[in-house]
Structure 1
């Protein structure tokens, strides 16, 4: 069964500065090692659909998602339609700036086809999730470096 995953980083910048970066979903490929493209279909808000392309090494696959939470300077989340996972960024003000939390939640598990594809093409759930968590930490580190410039 897939696990919920979480990574956190503290950024020396106000939440509105961090928000400008994480809410611009087109920029996701700059930060995520798995995301090749994330194209919102219209202005980003609750209900906006995106078309995405992801990779793991030489393997590339498309997905679609829908923004399910959009609270400026606080949180953005999107549900991947293909596997039912919910990816989110939550911003918490701190004394030194902002704590940014990235999560992958699987409230109802993932789709059968997604589990089979991960097993067949990506080495199984455990190594795939280990790589996802590593990628989440890399993503947060790149966001931090961008915002703190």
Structure 2
């Protein structure tokens, strides 16, 4: 069963601006419908090896996860692996003629942990059903980033979106 997921969105804003919105894991709480807060460990600089803690919520269900940045290419990609479920999340910024293509991926190259399997079965009706919840959340996350990036651009050039 393929549990990898991907969503993408076209944004009418410069790639550098979009990158500034997605490069800091602590800002994920602004974008994701599930992430309530993120605390980066250390001096706040983000790069490969940076560790952080997430507090997540879905209705009454609240849980904490721990992640580590595993890929980081400034201006282009940030990817982190979550310890509890073995999933790697990545965000990729690509320049396009219209502005930026923003892509988010959920990769499960190691499979998913038994804990994640148990929670998906118990709270969501299985891994496939939970995947649909995750995909909807990814789409909402990207739409929120798009709205913010395009609003920022409109404010900078004096137009309204």
Give TM-score scaled by structure 1 length.
0.96
Question: By how many angstroms is 1:2 displaced?
Answer: 5.4
Residue aligning to 2:56? 54
Q: Within 5 A, what are the aligned runs for 1:16-55?
A: 16-42=16-42, 43-55=45-57
1:90-131, Cα deviation, whole Å (9 max, x unpaired): 011100111000000000101111101211123221221111
1:78-97, Cα deviation, whole Å (9 max, x unpaired): 00011110000001110011
1:24-43, Cα deviation, whole Å (9 max, x unpaired): 21111111011111111132
Equivalents in 1 of 2:24, 2:134: separation in Å? 21
Residue aligning to 1:124? 126
Unaligned runs of 5+ in 2: 152-161
**Consecutive aligned runs of 4 or more in structure 1 exceeding 3 Å deviation:** none
Equivalents in 1 of 2:22, 2:142: separation in Å? 10
Instruction: Specify the structure having the higher radius of gyration (Cα).
Output: 2
CA RMSD in angstroms comes to 1.0
Aligned 8 A contact 2:71 2:77 in 1: yes
Equivalents in 2 of 1:116, 1:17: separation in Å? 39
Residue aligning to 1:8? 8
Q: Within 5 A, what are the aligned runs for 1:59-138?
A: 59-138=61-140
Equivalents in 2 of 1:62, 1:21: separation in Å? 23
Give TM-score scaled by structure 2 length.
0.89
Q: How many residues align?
A: 149
